[in-house]
């Protein structure tokens, strides 16, 4: 079994004002303590500005701990072609493995046609796209689902399991097969169990939202789910390994 | 002591007193505030309050009951609150802007809030759901009723958490409740800046679970005196006011 945290932030030095920088060492120590094998990291700053530099910094972090960290790119879709080309570079040249988008912070409706060129590129690059979800009016699970439905070859991940909109998350998972639910920050334990029961554990991913959130409760949450050991292994890492095509 | 657990049923989600007590025992929770869930918060509040009172009567050492009184019903809701507290022995009020359908600062809540204040009972309001229940709406409500005790459920989570502390700092009659809050740093900040006596542990059972919610409080980087305060003393002090 492999444990993969599918949602963590690297806050970089001199980044956006209110985020204190997180050291890589702290990440690795925390992962060791909680027995997390690999963690997906991306910046927050790159959602807004300087995404080229931010993607370089993620690639550099991954190069220091290639067995422990998985880098996701960030681009700002408002910049059109520039964002698409940067995604191509971040995956093709830097070796990043996925894309994080945040409709709420970046200010676009998740199903907007502005996203189509990026999703087409993600299809070609065969990478997953992780969305912040659960914040109306831009980041609703059903908006993300509408986009995912147009691009059936892209694994699309609903970050935070749609927060309080978990009911829509479960309905969206039933409708759109390339959609996944990621559990960080969401304490509606019963809703995660319901999704596993009604949709299947193969569509649920463990995530921590570290270092924004302390990772321990987020892991405890997965451990207390009333599911089989096999289902828990899928949620904790096997699903993400399959999506990222890592053994 | 848990400040926020539900008894009842919503679709396939069910909570019964016996199972709740078993869950409490597993995590060392000795007492819980229980209130109705789902449509019982909206319709037929009298029946729901009587049912909660009956459960409290069966398990008086385990449960304290909070009442529901839909503010859309005006004077009828005020009378029901009076009955639930004075006759049935319930000890707090739950207002639910999202389910009952009003903005938390709307004037329709004034009669029940005034009644709760006269009865010296705390008012629990889940906060964090735009468009109807935001910290800034609680700010207006708290200012209009400076003597009413308001408990902000879920500390504004998910998206409105950053605005909870600034609002609570301005209004000494606002308390914060921790259920489903995943951000330890936010709770620690609240303890530091407001004092632990204004922070209250809750579970939101059966939506969340004790193993997770108790662990969240256990992991907080605070003094053991502050932890004891959050885990029961803060709430007991509020409940004492009505007796």
Q: pLDDT (tens digit, 9 = 90+) per residue, A107-155?
A: 999 999 999 999 999 999 999 999 999 999 999 999 999 999 999 999 9
B40 touching A, CB under 8 A? Answer: no
What is the total count of domains within chain B?
1
* Distance, CA of B64 to CA of B239 (rounded, Å): 9
All residues of chain A having their beta carbon less than 8 Å from the beta carbon of residue B212 are 187, 189, 217, 220-221, 224
* Cα dihedral: B38, B212, A128, A115 (round 10): 50
How many residues make up chain B in this entry? 243
**Nearest-CA distance A189 → chain B (Å):** 5
Q: Which of B97, B158, B189 to mutate to test binding with chain A, by most A CBs within 10 Å of its CB?
A: B158
Tell me the pLDDT band of A16, cut-offs 50, 70 and 90. low
* Distance, CA of A121 to CA of B139 (rounded, Å): 46
Across the interface, do B208 and A134 touch by the CB < 8 Å criterion? Answer: no
Which burial class, exposed, middle or buried, applies to A64 when counting CB atoms under 10 A from its CB (0-12, 13-18, 19+)? Answer: exposed
For B18-40, what is each residue's pLDDT tens digit?
Answer: 999 999 999 999 999 999 999 99
Tell me the pLDDT band of A240, cut-offs 50, 70 and 90. very high
Over residues A212-233, mean pLDDT? 96
Q: Look-up: residue for tokens 């909206």?
A: B42
Tell me if residue A169 falls in helix, strand or coil. helix
- What kind and span of H or E run contains A229? helix A229-233
Across the interface, do A190 and B213 touch by the CB < 8 Å criterion? Answer: no
Q: Return the closest-CA partner of residue A218 out of A3, A1, A48.
A: A3
Phi-psi sector, B28: left (phi>0), alpha (psi -120 to 50), beta: left
CATH number of the domain bearing residue B52: 3.20.20.140
For A179-215, what is each residue's pLDDT tens digit?
Answer: 999 999 999 999 999 999 999 999 999 999 998 899 9
Tokens of B28: 């060392």
**Nearest-CA distance A141 → chain B (Å):** 14
Q: Is-cis flag, bond preceding B206, omega within 30?
A: yes
Can you list the domains of chain A with their CATH numbers? Answer: 4-243 (3.20.20.140)
* Distance, CA of B147 to CA of A17 (rounded, Å): 37
Mean pLDDT of all residues belonging to chain A: 94
Across the interface, do B182 and A224 touch by the CB < 8 Å criterion? Answer: no
Across the interface, do B182 and A189 touch by the CB < 8 Å criterion? Answer: no
B127, pLDDT greater than 70: yes
- Parallel, antiparallel, or unpaired for β B150-153 and B123-126? parallel
Tell me the pLDDT band of A13, cut-offs 50, 70 and 90. low
Across the interface, do A190 and B180 touch by the CB < 8 Å criterion? Answer: no
Across the interface, do A187 and B183 touch by the CB < 8 Å criterion? Answer: no
* Distance, CA of B26 to CA of B205 (rounded, Å): 14
B107, pLDDT greater than 60: yes
B166 touching A, CB under 8 A? Answer: no
Residues sharing a CB contact under 8 Å with residue A228, sequence separation 6 or more, in sequence order: none
DSSP string of A68-108, one letter each residue = TEEEEEE--GGGTHHHHHHHHHHHHTT---EEEE-HHHHTS
Residues sharing a CB contact under 8 Å with residue A227, sequence separation 6 or more, in sequence order: A193, A196, A201, A235
All residues of chain B having their beta carbon less than 8 Å from the beta carbon of residue A218 are 182
pLDDT score for A17: 45
pTM: 0.94
Across the interface, do A224 and B211 touch by the CB < 8 Å criterion? Answer: yes
**Nearest-CA distance B148 → chain A (Å):** 28
* Distance, CA of B95 to CA of B124 (rounded, Å): 6
Tokens of A205: 């991913």
Find out whether B24 and B30 touch, Cβ atoms under 8 Å: yes
Which burial class, exposed, middle or buried, applies to B69 when counting CB atoms under 10 A from its CB (0-12, 13-18, 19+)? Answer: buried
Q: Which of B182, B203, B207 to mutate to test binding with chain A, by most A CBs within 10 Å of its CB?
A: B182
B237 touching A, CB under 8 A? Answer: no
All residues of chain B having their beta carbon less than 8 Å from the beta carbon of residue A184 are 182
State how far the alpha carbon of A43 is from the alpha carbons of A50, A56, A82, B75, B103, in Å: 11, 11, 18, 53, 36
Q: Return the closest-CA partner of residue A91 out of A124, A114, A65.
A: A124
* Residue ranges making up the domain that contains B208: 2-240
């Amino acid at each position: 079994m492999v444990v993969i945290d599918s949602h963590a932030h690297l806050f970089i030095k001199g980044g956006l004002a209110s985020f204190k920088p997180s050291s890589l060492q702290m990440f690795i120590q925390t992962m060791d303590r909680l027995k997390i094998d690999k963690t997906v990291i991306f910046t927050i700053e790159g959602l807004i500005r300087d995404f080229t530099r931010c993607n370089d910094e993620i690639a550099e972090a991954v190069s220091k701990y290639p067995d422990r960290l998985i880098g996701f790119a960030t681009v700002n879709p408002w910049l059109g072609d520039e964002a698409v080309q940067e995604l191509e570079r971040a995956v093709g040249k830097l070796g990043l493995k996925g894309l994080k988008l945040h409709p709420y912070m970046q200010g676009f409706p998740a199903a907007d046609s502005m996203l189509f060129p990026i999703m087409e590129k993600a299809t070609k690059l065969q990478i997953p796209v992780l969305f912040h979800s659960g914040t109306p009016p831009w980041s609703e699970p059903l908006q993300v689902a509408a986009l995912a439905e147009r691009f059936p070859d892209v694994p699309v991940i609903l970050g935070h399991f749609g927060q309080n909109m978990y009911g829509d998350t479960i309905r969206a998972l039933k409708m759109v097969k390339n959609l996944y639910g990621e559990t960080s920050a969401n304490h509606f334990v019963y809703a995660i169990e319901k999704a596993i029961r009604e949709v299947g554990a193969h569509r649920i991913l463990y995530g921590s939202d570290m270092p924004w959130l302390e990772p321990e409760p987020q892991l405890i949450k997965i451990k207390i789910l009333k599911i089989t050991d096999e289902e828990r292994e899928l949620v904790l890492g096997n699903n993400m390994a399959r999506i990222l095509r890592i053994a | 002591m848990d400040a926020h657990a539900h008894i009842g049923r919503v679709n396939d989600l069910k909570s019964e007193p016996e199972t709740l007590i078993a869950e409490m025992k597993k995590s060392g929770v000795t007492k819980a505030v229980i209130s109705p869930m789902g449509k019982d918060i909206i319709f037929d509040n009298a029946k729901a309050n009587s049912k909660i009172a009956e459960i409290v009567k069966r398990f008086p050492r385990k449960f304290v009951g909070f009442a529901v009184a839909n503010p859309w019903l005006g004077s009828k809701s005020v009378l029901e609150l009076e009955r639930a507290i004075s006759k049935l022995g319930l000890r707090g009020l739950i207002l639910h802007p999202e389910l009952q359908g009003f903005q938390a600062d709307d004037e329709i809540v004034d009669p029940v809030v005034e009644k709760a204040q006269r009865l010296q009972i705390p008012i629990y309001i889940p906060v964090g759901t735009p468009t109807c229940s935001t910290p800034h709406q609680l700010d207006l409500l708290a200012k209009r009723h400076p003597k009413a005790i308001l408990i902000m459920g879920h500390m504004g989570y998910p998206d409105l958490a950053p605005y909870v502390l600034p609002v609570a700092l301005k209004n000494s009659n606002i308390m914060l409740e921790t259920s489903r809050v995943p951000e330890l740093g936010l709770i620690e900040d609240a303890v530091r800046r407001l004092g632990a006596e204004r922070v209250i542990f809750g579970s939101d059972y059966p939506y969340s679970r004790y193993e997770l919610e108790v662990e969240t409080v256990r992991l907080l980087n605070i003094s053991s005196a502050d932890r004891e305060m959050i885990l029961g003393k803060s709430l007991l002090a509020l409940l004492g006011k009505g007796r």
